[in-house]
């Protein structure tokens, strides 16, 4: 029993001496500049190199000094992860709970992978897409955003869900007419080739390709400009080539000339012209 008591006393004395010696050495080191009581901005990389490098490459708006968020170095058993709301306050997106469910690593905040159906958090930031989906109901507006965008910024090929109109069409061809968040509103620019139109309008395209008239060389988008199913007036290109007497007999250009894709194509139009003359 006496040996145990002596051993305990020895441990206490040694511990006290060790603490006193450590404090003395720490004070001497701080005075000499080799050790400081607080960290500086450049100190973090000495231990947290991979985190600092990630922040520099992927930090986006979070690419700040470490101390701007962490405000010092605590004891090892303490967390110093700051509250997101300290900086992110205004707007409906920042009122959503559970920031770390999507933004799992604040050092690369836009590297987001979605493992569940998510829509509301996405639309809180992406206003234009939200407005398009609400104003243009379609099968797309019934899907969760994460059904198509499995990670942040991803744009999937349309062919993952939709068969292309032809074998030659890629994703960019789809986007030339269909916008993903309003797919039923078909709009296009003047760079769309007639072959793309023919992928859907096969009968009309084949008739145009076989006709002998000058219309055969006119791109579809030159007449049907800008908006799907727009039918132009013949006068928009041809003016008023006939006197008023002709219009007294024939109410439509097609009464004589047939349909625009196949001028003079049918006997009916020719016979009708002959009968009225």
Domain ranges of the chain: 45-152, 194-276
Closest CA to 111 of 155, 61, 59: 59
User: Where does residue 229 rank: exposed (0-12), middle (13-18), buried (19+ CB within 10 A)?
Assistant: exposed
pTM: 0.56
The token pair that represents 60 in the structure block: 């986006």
Q: What is the CA radius of gyration of the chain?
A: 37
Element (H, E) at 205: helix 202-210
pLDDT of residue 26: 46
pLDDT of residue 68: 87
pLDDT of residue 55: 92
The token pair that represents 11 in the structure block: 């441990």
pLDDT of residue 138: 95
Q: How many CA atoms lie within 13 A of 187 on its CB side?
A: 6
pLDDT of residue 63: 92
Closest CA to 208 of 199, 219, 221: 219
pLDDT tens by residue, the chain, 277 residues: 556 555 555 554 454 444 444 454 445 545 554 445 567 767 888 889 999 999 999 999 999 988 888 887 877 677 777 888 888 888 878 888 888 888 889 999 998 878 778 898 898 889 999 999 999 999 999 999 999 998 888 888 888 899 888 777 777 778 888 899 999 998 888 888 888 888 889 899 999 888 888 898 999 999 998 788 888 989 888 998 888 888 888 888 888 888 888 886 555 444 544 454 4
pLDDT of residue 269: 47
Look up tokens 């078909």; give the residue: 186
């Amino acid at each position: 029993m006496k040996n145990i008591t002596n051993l305990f006393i020895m441990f206490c004395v040694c511990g006290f001496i060790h603490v006193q010696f450590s404090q003395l050495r720490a004070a001497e080191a701080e005075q000499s500049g080799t050790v400081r009581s607080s960290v500086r901005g450049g100190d973090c990389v000495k231990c947290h190199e991979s985190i600092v490098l990630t922040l520099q490459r992927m930090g986006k708006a979070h690419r700040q000094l470490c101390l701007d968020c962490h405000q010092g170095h605590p004891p090892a058993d303490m967390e110093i992860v700051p509250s997101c709301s300290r900086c992110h306050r205004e707007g409906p997106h920042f009122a959503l709970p559970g920031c770390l469910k999507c933004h799992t690593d604040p050092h690369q905040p836009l590297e987001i992978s979605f493992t569940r159906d998510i829509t509301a958090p996405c639309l809180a930031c992406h206003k234009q897409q939200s407005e398009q989906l609400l104003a243009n109901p379609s099968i797309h507006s019934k899907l969760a955003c994460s059904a198509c965008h499995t990670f942040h910024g991803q744009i999937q090929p349309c062919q993952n869900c939709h068969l292309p109109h032809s074998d030659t069409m890629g994703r960019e061809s789809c986007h030339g007419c269909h916008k993903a968040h309003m797919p039923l509103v078909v709009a296009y620019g003047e760079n769309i080739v007639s072959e793309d139109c023919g992928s859907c309008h096969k009968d009309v395209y084949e008739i145009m390709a076989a006709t002998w008239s000058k219309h055969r060389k006119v791109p579809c988008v030159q007449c049907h400009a800008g908006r799907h199913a727009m039918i132009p007036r013949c006068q928009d290109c041809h003016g008023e080539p006939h006197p008023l007497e002709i219009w007294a007999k024939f109410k439509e250009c097609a009464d004589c000339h047939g349909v625009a894709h196949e001028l003079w194509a049918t006997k009916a139009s020719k016979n009708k012209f002959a009968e009225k003359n």
